[in-house]
Structure 1
Amino acid sequence: MRNLVALATGLAVLTAIAACENGPGAPKEPPVLTVTSPARGLIQGHAGQVTVSGQALPNAAGDALDKVLVNDVQATLAPDGSFSAVITVNEGATLIETVASDVQGTAATDTRAVQAGQLRPVGTSIDKAIDLSMSAASFAKLSTAAGPILKGLDMASLLAPMQPMLNVGGGSTYAQLFVDDVNFSDIQIAMSPVQGGLSFRAEIDKLDVPAHVRFAVLGLGGSDSLRVTADRVVIAGTLAITPAGLSGFKTRIANPNVSVTSFHFDAGGIPSTILNLLHIDSIVQTILPPAAELAMTPLVNQALGALAGPQQLDVLGHKLDLQLAPSAIAFDPSGAVLAMNLKVLLAGSESSPGFIFTNNGSPAMTASYGFQIGLADDLLNEMFAELHALGALNLTVPKDVGVFDAAQIHMTVPPMISADARNGELRIVLGDMLATFTKQGTPVGKAAINARIDLQIVPVGNGNSIALQLGPPELHVDVLDDVANTTGLEPRDLAAATAAAVNAQIEAISKLLVSIPVPAIAGLQFHNLAVGSDQGYVMVSGQLQ
């Protein structure tokens, strides 16, 4: 490597620095810095110590060296300019910045990436990949949205697997009740969290239940239609919700209490013996609780994620197989907290060497405030590793500036979500991207790019869903010697030319982040969004409206 080039926060700052370097009073030449170890894009299977070594020599003017720092650790510097320093890297992605400065205060820098931690195969299921909490106030908002959702359900299809709903009697006298549909003019739902579930109340107006009965009386068989109506029905109880694997959640109304106003039935030619066998006067109390449980299951699945089950998504032109299953849910009067396991695999990425798995703690989920969503960094890093294996993040960026007309971007390691050692915040680290500049297909320059990028959260889809996005990058650019710089540009100007390449890479990664399955909550809108981090999770919080 001939010369380190630039460190800037944001592309505009980087370009401004490059412009200043071309003006009057250009700074003195920095020392000549060469880092020989570790290699760029190092992946090691554990956190711990890394030895950084190389050589730092005076500039052409002969200004004596002062010191070499590696991530603020002073290196041992020999008379011939060779140096070494031992630093500690944590699990995740670390940028190693080596700074060689001379007695005039002029510095050369080299930045490279190392990823440390346990490698796991892609396609590995991530336990607690997504955590979600909802407050009591959020369930009140959900109750308001529940009525229209339930009115849109195809109850006939939901009820079909349960038929016959009643099978009573035996021998020569029996009855089987088949419920064909459940109709109503309006429904109001009230749900509030209690210990162990949701306090549940459904007020149903103008109930209309068409059905038919197959029967026999003393061996003489028959069938006929039955219709049950009521002006108003109220069902109340505790809605117990339990995980059901890839099916999402299962609901059950414990100790249902059903009251009926203005009950009426039309039994056609069904004999009274059969009507008595069916207990026709309490038939609504018999059939509505299980029907309500069936209806609440898709509602709860929409309310608590709307993601369960196997799905296929398109991500940057590749098929993503996704399997999400809730693993735990707990209720108390303040709200609910649940965890979901997730398995993701991009078709064709099986050849990947794996992704860096980091041991996360348990994020603090507070059910008393709005909602919270926690996304495990392992989930995001697994998807990055799969895309990297497919070469989907290797780009060619056309950029004709005369001295070169394109830049090829090669990712030596996958992007990685990692906690910043400086403040613990989770950021995406783009490690050792190699940008080769070409003119009519011939290489004319090369640079290594490292970047830290903040995560942002934005509402999408009319505000009823959210997505992760990338903020401005903090860039570290080194011009490399393995391709001669024949562009005629000074190294810092060539570094500034990486802006278009970095923008293209950020755009590609942003498309991936938008496709990451973040729970939507029953079509409600998200407001007052904030993003943070806790115990290796990207934390999103806000309010529902």
Structure 2
Amino acid sequence: GELRPVGTNIERAITAALSAEAFARLSSAAGPLVKNMDLMAKISGLQPMANLGDSLANVKLSITKLTLGDAKFKLIPVEGGLQFSAELTGLSVSAIAAYGGTFVPDGSTSVSITADTIKIAGTLVVTPAGTDGFTTKITSPAVTSVKLKLTASGLVGDILDLLNSNLSSTVQSITTRSTELALQPLINEALGALAGPQKLEVLGKKLDFQVSPSAISFNRAGALVTLNVKATIEGSESSPGYVFTPNGTPTMKANSGIQLGLADDLINALLAEVHAIGLLDLHIEKDFGVINTADIKLSIPPMISASSGDGELRLVLGDAIATFSKQGKTLISAAINAQVDLEVLRGNNPEEIALQFGKVKLFVNVLDPTAEDPLSADDLAGAASAGINLQLDSLSKFLITVPVPSVAGVSLDNLSLRADSGYVMVSGDVH
């Protein structure tokens, strides 16, 4: 295959399908999360939230405090987006009204807006926004209120009339924009788009992720999203690259649960970077009987192929040269190759999934064998197995950092793993 540089953008690196049931669970979890958010931080860049009137009499409304008693949401996938409804209770808004104009002396005063209930309905449109992830916007919002009240002591005349006559539209603007911004990180997390570059530290190495959505579509069954990914491990610039393999289009269905596809190129690029930084080169000091030291150096990067004819996935560790010594004296050298079954399990919490390594099949060939080789086949296999397991432990810590959809309120059961058109496919039922 074609050799491509590591750290470059991998198109269609991740594809995911989320069912209507997954969005229903997200809806239930969104209310408490939004209620407890710092909503002022979300709208800080939008001040003033209202700019009313004209040159004769005008007022600018800047929000200083915004709280909710409770919040309930419904997100139902439809053609073109998410059918959206929200019920916000106990709305309390504090603001500074700065007024002026030809017929109004300049000044400012504190005002407050309260409502027992605000209801919002519309379509939540989710749009790819490059490395910023997805943006969310409620189109054609219909907003109703119960016991909406303005308190503005000290205001009279034109300015008070201006605020009262625009109260409903002002509250609509404040609540819809706040809701859009509050839901945006939840949608980004659910769709696997970690907005902006992410910097992680794994085993003392800096790992930079940059995820950019390339496409998203909705229908009544759910949502289908495709993401491009750029991943760079600090110090991996010396890598000659990874072997690119053209991928097809995996079968994705959002009818139930969640499906996730990771392009084998994404995983293989990470494996090439791990190899370049020497993470898999080991020096082991352990009493194996005949030997007490093993040095293992991987000649080529490990690879995962998601094109297996039987649909199974395996990690291949090829040409690891192992040197076995006793008290500093080299006794024997061998080439180790391994095939490792891949499994999928829950991650560190019920909302996460992680690739895990399963059964290991070892192939050990002695280099320059003699009739007096000091190690038995069992000794050699035991030492080789110990080294391979240490390598897999290091690899697993990198593989579980691949960004995947994490839907608030959703845990997955009955996880399954298969290969399809060059993708590692993970499926799970919503629990």
TM-score exceeds 0.5: yes
Compared with structure 1, are the counterparts of its residues 306 and 329 closer, same or farther at alpha carbon in structure 2 (3 Å cutoff)? closer
Instruction: Look up the SS of the partner of 2:31 in the other structure.
Output: helix
Greater shift, 205-214 or 288-297, is seen at 288-297
Q: Which residue of 1 aligns with 2:420?
A: 534
Is 1:362 the counterpart of 2:249 in the alignment? yes
Change (3 A) 1:402 1:487: farther
Which digits, 9 at most, give the CA deviation of each residue in 1:244-283, with x for residues without a partner?
1122111111110111011111012223312333424423
Task: Report the identity percentage.
Answer: 47
Work out whether residues 445 and 486 of structure 1, in 8 Å CA contact, stay in contact via their aligned partners in 2.
no
Which residue of 77, 80, 102 maps to 1:196?
A: 80
Paired amino acid for 2:75: M
Change in CA separation of 1:421 and 1:243 when aligned onto 2, cut-off 3 Å:
closer
Cα contact 1:479–1:491 (8 A) shared by 2 = no
DSSP 3-state at the match of 2:429: strand
* Aligned equivalent of 2:374, options 479, 488, 496: 488
Distance (whole Å) between structure 2 residues aligned to residue 287 and residue 313 of structure 1: 35
> Relative to structure 2, which stretch is displaced further, 223-232 or 392-401?
392-401
Deviations 1:171-196 (A, max 9, x none): 24221111223211111111100100
Within the candidate set 154, 158, 172, 2:38 is matched to 154
Task: Name the amino acid aligned to 2:178.
Answer: A
Separation (CA, whole Å) in 1 of partners of 2:284 and 2:212:
39
- 1:16-55 Cα shifts (integer Å, max 9, x gaps): xxxxxxxxxxxxxxxxxxxxxxxxxxxxxxxxxxxxxxxx
Partners in 2 of 1:188 and 1:148 — Cα distance?
8
Structure 1 residues 191 and 421, CA, compared in 2 at 3 Å: closer, same or farther? closer
Q: For the residues of structure 1 that align with 2:138 and 2:177, how far apart are their CA atoms?
A: 8
Does residue 403 of structure 1 match 2:290? yes
Which amino acid letter does the alignment assign opposite residue 424 of structure 2? V
CA displacement at 1:474 relative to structure 2: 1.7
**8 Å contact 1:524–1:544 — kept in the other structure?**
yes
Q: 2:399 aligns with which of 500, 505, 513?
A: 513
- Whether the aligned pair in 1 keeps the contact of 2:283 and 2:296 (CA below 8 Å) is yes
The residue that corresponds to 2:148 in the other structure is 263
Q: For residues 390 and 314 of structure 1, do their structure 2 counterparts lie closer, same or farther at Cα, with a shift above 3 Å needed?
A: same
What displacement does 1:420 show? 6.2
Structure 1 position 487, deviation (Å):
5.3
Q: Is the 8 A contact 2:362 2:385 kept in 1?
A: no
* DSSP-derived class of the 2:37 partner: coil
| Cα contact 2:57–2:104 (8 A) shared by 1 | yes
Map of 1:228 onto structure 2: 113
Tell me which amino acid in the other structure corresponds to 1:337.
Answer: L
Which residue of structure 1 lines up, in the alignment, with residue 161 of structure 2?
276
Distance 1:130 1:344, change over 3 A: same
Q: How many aligned positions are there?
A: 428
Question: Please, which moves more after superposition, 238-247 or 460-469?
Answer: 460-469
Aligned residue runs from structure 1 range 278-317, under 5 A: 278=163, 279-282=165-168, 283-305=170-192, 307-317=194-204
**Structure 1 432/422 Cα, relative in aligned 2: closer, same or farther at 3 Å?**
farther
Look up the match of 1:36.
none
CA distance in 1, matches of 2:419, 2:308: 13
Q: Hey, what's the Cα distance between the residues in 2 that align with 1:181 and 1:244?
A: 29
Distance 1:491 1:526 in 2: 43
AA in 1 matched with 2:129: A
Q: How does 1:40-79 map to 2 (within 5 A)?
A: none
Give the deviation of 1:220 after TM superposition: 1.0
1:501 to 361, 367, 387: 387
Give the Cα separation in 1 of the matches to 2:307 and 2:124. 43
Amino acid across the alignment from 1:434: I
TM-fit CA distance, 1:235: 0.4
Aligned to 1:400, the other structure's residue is in SS state: coil
**Letter of the structure 1 residue corresponding to residue 82 of structure 2:** L
Q: Which amino acid counterpart does residue 141 of structure 2 have in structure 1?
A: P
Distance 1:516 1:252 in 2: 28
SS, match of residue 204 in structure 1: strand
Structure 2 residue aligned with 1:241, among 101, 117, 126? 126
Match of 2:100, SS? strand
Q: Cα offset for 1:137?
A: 1.0
Are 1:209 and 1:227, in contact at CA under 8 Å, matched by a contact in 2?
A: yes
Secondary structure (helix, strand or coil) at the match of 1:360 reads coil
Partner of 1:133: 17
CA shift in 2, pair 1:178/1:409, >3 Å: same
Counterpart code for 1:153: M
Q: Secondary structure at the match of 1:450?
A: strand
Unaligned runs of 5+ in 1: 1-116
Q: 1:435 aligns with which of 301, 322, 343?
A: 322
AA paired with 2:146?
Answer: T
| Counterpart-to-counterpart distance in 1, 2:175 and 2:28 | 21
Match of 1:183 in 2: 67
Q: TM-score, normalised by structure 2?
A: 0.95
User: 1:516 offset after TM fit, Å?
Assistant: 2.6
| RMSD across aligned positions (CA) | 1.8
The more displaced of 223-232 and 491-500 is: 491-500
Question: How far 1:514 moved relative to its partner?
Answer: 2.4
What are the Cα deviations for residues 53-94 of structure 1, in whole angstroms up to 9, with x where unaligned?
A: xxxxxxxxxxxxxxxxxxxxxxxxxxxxxxxxxxxxxxxxxx
CA distance in 2, matches of 1:345, 1:276: 58
**Which position in structure 2 is the counterpart of 1:9?**
none
CA deviation string 1:87-119 (max 9, x = no partner): xxxxxxxxxxxxxxxxxxxxxxxxxxxxxx110
Task: Tell me, in whole angstroms, the C-alpha distance in 1 between the residues paired with 2:283 and 2:121.
Answer: 61
Counterpart CA distance in 1 for 2:309 and 2:60 is: 70
Tell me, yes or no, if the aligned pair for 1:445 and 1:485 is still in contact at 8 Å.
Answer: no
Distance in 1, matches of 2:83 and 2:368, equals 69
* Paired residue type of 1:193: P
- Counterparts of 2:383 and 2:373 in 1: how far apart (Å)? 11
* Higher-Rg member (1/2): 1
Letter in 1 for 2:199: Q
Distance in 2, matches of 1:308 and 1:398, equals 43
